[in-house]
Structure 1
Amino acid sequence: MNDDNLKTVNYPLITFILTFAGLTILMSMYITIPLTATWISEFSINETKAIWLSSAFSLCYAFSSLIYGPLSDRFGRKVFLVYGITFLTIITILCGFVENYELLLILRILQAMGASAFVPISLVYIADVLPAEKRLKALGFVSSSFLIASVVAQVFSTLVQETFGWHYIFLLLGLFYIVTSILTIVYLPKDTRVKHENSILTNFINIKNLFINRSLCISFLISFMLLFSLIGMYTILGTYLAAKPLYFTDEQILIVRATGLIAVTTSLFANNITRKFGVVQSVKCSLLVASLSLFLMAISPNPILSILFSLFFIACIALLVPVNISLINKNSAAQRGTAILFNAFILFIGASFGPMLASQLMLHTNSLVSFVIFGFVLLLGYVGAFFFD
């Protein structure tokens, strides 16, 4: 951006718009989680098909992220922000009028294609538009909205479904996206596109260059662990609390999940924390404390302590998300867009495998073994952090 534009940029407004967008857009990923029984009844399908309305979104979101990275490096960021939110708005509203399972599944896939064009690229946009001293704070707000969305979406969809019916979940989200579209088009400044001599095909082929950089590889490894361990932890904790002798109800478990919102606020202080302790040191300490928290959850004699230690764990994961993204921004140079969107791919691949492993562990072992295994995974990340350049 030129000097004249820099003088007129409203950085708090940019941060607010991208935070609001991150929260509402990623709600689309999680709104179907409490609706499995509704889909089974509504469409006369089995549980596996019902779960695909959630899984199809996650998988398509992950793989679409790989496509948009090289394209945004070539054509700029805002064009994809506008395309993503506009396309998502149209598809989401259409979802509200669907009466057929197969059509809804197709539209969920298309939703993911729109969402993945906005959310990951918004992180690269922050690095392109905001000055260095404001980036980490903005990343903290935006990335915290990603984590908050996982809880807010489930509460939102449950309340709307019980009050108005599931169709209105998509219609109300569509209204949110109309507002976001207007804010994006009118108030987000256009980024300065770096001119690349490479063709789009070359940009895709050059994805392999990301793996030459050791620090980027370590960041990708850590990214995989974040949602892998977060959603895995929630899966284990939920099963543990619902089983005998505790028998927590669904409402009580939802309250436990909601308390995690308190811990998510650590991401908002990422800038202050890294200034005091350094970026790499903050990553190391967060991974170590998160790992120890899982070990303590495993040996806690009562559920209250397990819930307490889960808050320490969530706080560390919430801090790691923006700090790790800032490291990727720093180390990826001209391939920033490709690196950030590849990171989104890794994040949501981890989000897919975490609950799968946790479910299998709880089926064949117990919560102690399950928490310990996930704790060891994060401990490996802690060791890996010592190899940052």
Structure 2
Amino acid sequence: MAGEVASIKKKDKLVTSILFWCALIVVSSVYTTTPLIDVFSDYFSTTRTHAAWTSSSFSLFYAIGFLFFGPLSDRFGRKNIILTGLLALGILTPLIGMTDQLEWVVALRGIQGFFAATFAPTALAYAFEMFPKQKLVTVIGFLSFGYVTAGIFGQVLAGGISNYLGWQSVFVVFGLFYLITFVVVLLFLPRDYKRFKYSGLKRYLYQITTLFKYRNLVLCYLITITLLLTFVGMYTVLGNYLGNEPFQLTETEILYIRAFGFIGMLLSPLAGRLVNTFGLIAMLKFGLSLSSICLVLMGLSSSLYIIIITSILFVGGISLLFPVIMLLIGEFGGEQRALASSLYAFILFIGATAGPLIAVILMSIGNYMITFTVLSFLLAIGIPASFFIKYENASYS
């Protein structure tokens, strides 16, 4: 009996580790071109606005993909959809590094983003169906940590590969990661056998529109769209900011500063304890206020140390906001929790699509201070919205 229990625990740890790795490596592709905007601008002899589409096209089709692969996984199975996405990514991703035309990079990034959307909504449903309730919090915690950590991991890994091997190698390396991950998932992730009645995409989209009748959900979605918009927007500007006067840092030094963001991400696993102590809405207001203030300070400061500290705190605030918003949407979604979560992911990455474009446009018509201040204002819109969200706190330990 003891041996059987130990075997189950070992299997659960393996599956949790695989899901965490998939979350980390798949979502990292959202951020791989964030440190490459200037590289693309120079290589293709184009503007930074045009180069920013290598990031925005991915995010746009990534968001659209969430609306498709949720219902498709009901019909064809969770593991099958995850495997399809990983195989497609393994084939498509290296092709991006083999083209010499920016238009093809943008187009292939869009297709890559669409297939990357196979994982997030499917993995959440897979976890709910494959794990007992008492283990579910831990598994979802690792999934969420993978998503959040990808925001820095993807940038640092892509930037490092680009610095030493060239930007083309970034996509070759990630393609290999996806193919290896495909084999691991195929061999070690247990197959799900539960299937659900497929009511059709039209009905699915209609059900999503009904969610906008609920004020609390609408307010949460308003805050959601600003999260990755400001996160990706900030990092799009940061590299250029630090590479010019008065800092004139090298690409390697900028890479180290991006890596410091990992420190801020440590707040994400602590979200449950903080929420239990202070409440969901209090943590929502705190995260929004902290990140908004840090964006302003980054634009105003001429001290590299203050910029590093405020960038870490900004990431910390954003990392805290992700699980808080997910918990609120899960609560407010009720029986339509899966639909509400899919719409959350869609809106989140619509914001990620707009982030680099808005940041680059602001830079072209203003300066760093104006850019960071406007991004701060966009994030701060969520602060008054949070006062109108009505919620009775629950325990999330």
Return the TM-score normalized by structure 2. 0.81
Summarize deviations over 1:161-215 as a string: whole Å, max 9, x none.
Answer: 4555555433332332233223323433445747447444312221111212333
Give the unaligned 5+ runs of structure 1.
none
CA contact (8 A) 1:73 1:335 kept: no
Give the distance between the partners of 2:169 and 2:191, measured in 1 at CA: 34
Asked if structure 2 preserves the Cα contact closer than 8 Å seen for 1:147 and 1:264, the reply is yes
Residue pair 2:163, 2:252 contacting (<8 A) in 1 also = no
Residue segments in structure 2 that go unaligned for 5+ positions in a row? 392-397
Spell out, residue by residue over 1:311-334, the C-alpha distance to the aligned partner (whole angstroms, 9 max, x if none): 112111012112322332333244
Structure 1 CA distance, aligned partners of 2:265 and 2:383? 20
Structure-to-structure mapping, 1:291-302, within 5 angstroms? 291-300=292-301, 302=303
Letter in 1 for 2:288: L
The structure-2 alpha-carbon separation of the partners of 1:331 and 1:83, relative to structure 1 and needing over 3 Å to count, comes to: farther
Amino acid at match of 2:277: K
Written as runs of structure 1 = structure 2, the 5 A alignment for 1:1-389 is 8=8, 10-35=11-36, 46-47=46-47, 50-73=51-74, 76-95=77-96, 105-132=106-133, 134-161=135-162, 163-164=164-165, 166-191=167-192, 193=194, 195-196=196-197, 198-300=199-301, 302-386=303-387, 387-389=389-391
Identical-pair percentage: 35
Distance in 2, matches of 1:29 and 1:197, equals 29
Counterpart CA distance in 1 for 2:300 and 2:334 is: 44
Residue identity in the other structure for 1:388: K
Higher mean alpha-carbon deviation, 332-341 vs 205-214, is at 332-341
CA separation in 2, counterparts of 1:234 and 1:54?
12
Distance 1:282 1:14, change over 3 A: farther
1:249-291 residue CA offsets vs partner (Å, 9 max, x unmatched): 3333222211111111211222332233333332232222222
Summarize deviations over 1:315-372 as a string: whole Å, max 9, x none: 1101211232233233324444433232222112111222333333344444444434
Q: Is the 8 A contact 1:53 1:105 kept in 2?
A: yes
Is this contact kept in 1: 2:155–2:258, CA < 8 A?
A: no
Return the alpha-carbon distance in structure 2 between the equivalents of residues 290 and 32 of structure 1.
23
Structure 1 window deviating more from structure 2 (374-383 vs 95-104): it is 95-104
Distance 1:284 1:127, change over 3 A: farther
Q: Which whole-Å CA distance do the structure 2 matches of 1:359 and 1:39 have between them?
A: 14
Cα distance, 1:374 vs structure 2? 3.0
Pair 288,181 (structure 1): closer, same or farther in 2 beyond 3 Å: same
Summarize deviations over 1:124-177 as a string: whole Å, max 9, x none.
Answer: 433444455544544443333334334333443344445555554333323322
**SS across alignment from 2:340:** helix
CA RMSD in angstroms comes to 3.4
SS at match of 2:246: coil
